Amino acid sequence: MAHPLGNPPTKIVAVHLNYPSRARERGRVPSQPSYFLKPPSSLAGTKEAIVRPAGCELLGFEGEIALVIGSRAQRVAPADGWAYVRWVTAANDAGVYDLRHADRGSNLRSKGADGFTPIGPRLLDARQVDPAGLRLRTWVNGELAQDDTTDTLLFPFRQLVADLSRLVTLEPGDVILTGTPAGASVVRPGDLVEVEVTAGELSTGRLRNPIAEGDPLAPYGAMPKADPAEREAAYGLSYETGPLLDQRLADGLRSVAVATLSAQMRSRGLPHMSIDGVRPLGPGGEAMVGVAHTLRYLPLREDLFKRYGTGMNAQKRAIEELRPGHVLVMDARRDPTAGTLGDILALRAQRRGAAGVVTDGAVRDSSALADLGLRVYAAGAHPSVLGRRHVPWDTGVPVACGGALVQPGDLIVGDADGVVVVPPDLAEELIADCREQERQERFITEQVAAGENVDGLYPLGPTWRNTYENWCKGETQ
């Protein structure tokens, strides 16, 4: 079946990042939109196969909303941008990551192959829809993989039209692919990808494209090549490889007790930094230190659970967004009557390199979690799935966990006593002051063990100061 545009456009312009959920996956939020071009020959319609060249393993799907320009746009003001859009439809911005190395930056061969831009099946009249009220969904083999709306886009559609038209004349029939949300990943021959755009009761219908295996590429050009960074990018993960937390800082936080950190933060006017009500699963071990990545659950609403709780929901996205050194912090509203994590997702978090998981709800499969080796702190164990109480809602946002406010990027430290949140800008001075406090406490412990009265000694008072300083000299020798 041919694509619904009839005549081919003069150009197809694709936006790199536009959905906040995708930006969180990639680990960066652009200040302005950026673009690449796809050739008109890449257009296809519904039911046409997307062919993965033999030798490629990383064929990615990206469900997108396509805008079709209706009138010539040149130096359009942002307020007028939407008036130049005539149609809205569904699209799949397919590409093989194995060939990104061949045209780094342009995506010509990785994204521009014949059939790599299926659109349709129906066009929605742009004048009848609210550009901020569209919903985009993608299914792979019937399983919901992407589900997002256009009310929180980084760059509204009208801005894209205006921005492009500053330098590039948009002609009638030109197509703008407006970015993909979280959940885009890899498909294989035999899979079926479906994309649908809805605006209230209006629908494009499902754009259905099976994945097929193609012939090998002729050897007189760049050949497929996949490395770990490309695999991470293809599967929808962050491909920034730098450490989340400086090793020296991590070692410093690990060297002091959570109780000492809590006391030092309290002395600075921060008495509410502990995540209350959570206990470690399994035997003790090295302290948990990492950078917060957050997941928020909201109370169960049956009419919304199918939309937000199934498929590649926020819980699964949060797991797949983890980078080595992350601690996944879950806000479950202190409700321990349903599971928020089980053994399979905990294993995936461990494989992603997570430093730990903290939830103020319950966990399932607690025995298996305890044996896994991943540091997990929870409010309890419960046999039920999260759908009994929770809807996984969003990731990468400030959350309340165990009564503490946790922002993405906060430092999380846990030991046998519990878990505290450490503001990153205070970490260096806290480590120094904690070490001094713990040294004083070692001195005090020696004196109490020798029979001394705690009056004036604990906390350390002026009458013991000289004795303590002399003791410190001996400890450092």
Q: Which residues are annotated as a binding site for Mg(2+)?
A: 365
Q: Are 293 and 451 in contact (CB under 8 A)?
A: no
Give the helix/strand (H/E) hosting 380.
Answer: strand 380-381
Distance of CA 475 to the CA centre of its chain: 47
Could you give the CA distance from residue 341 to residue 377 in angstroms, rounded to a whole number? 11
Q: Are 322 and 349 in contact (CB under 8 A)?
A: yes
Q: Residues annotated as binding site?
A: 342-345, 364-365
Neighbours of 115 (CB within 10 A): 19
CB neighbour class for 220 (10 Å; exposed up to 12, middle 13-18, buried from 19): exposed
Q: Residues annotated as binding site for substrate?
A: 342-345, 364
Q: Are 144 and 311 in contact (CB under 8 A)?
A: yes
Could you give the CA distance from residue 194 to residue 82 in angstroms, rounded to a whole number? 26
Provide the 3-class DSSP secondary structure of residue 125: strand
CA angle 158, 163, 169 (to 5 degrees): 100
Strand partners for 362: 339, 380
From the list 177, 99, 92, the residue with the least C-alpha distance to 140 is 92
Calculate the alpha carbon distances from 180 to 173, 266, 314, 434 in Å: 21, 44, 16, 46
Helices H / strands E in the chain, number of each: 12, 29
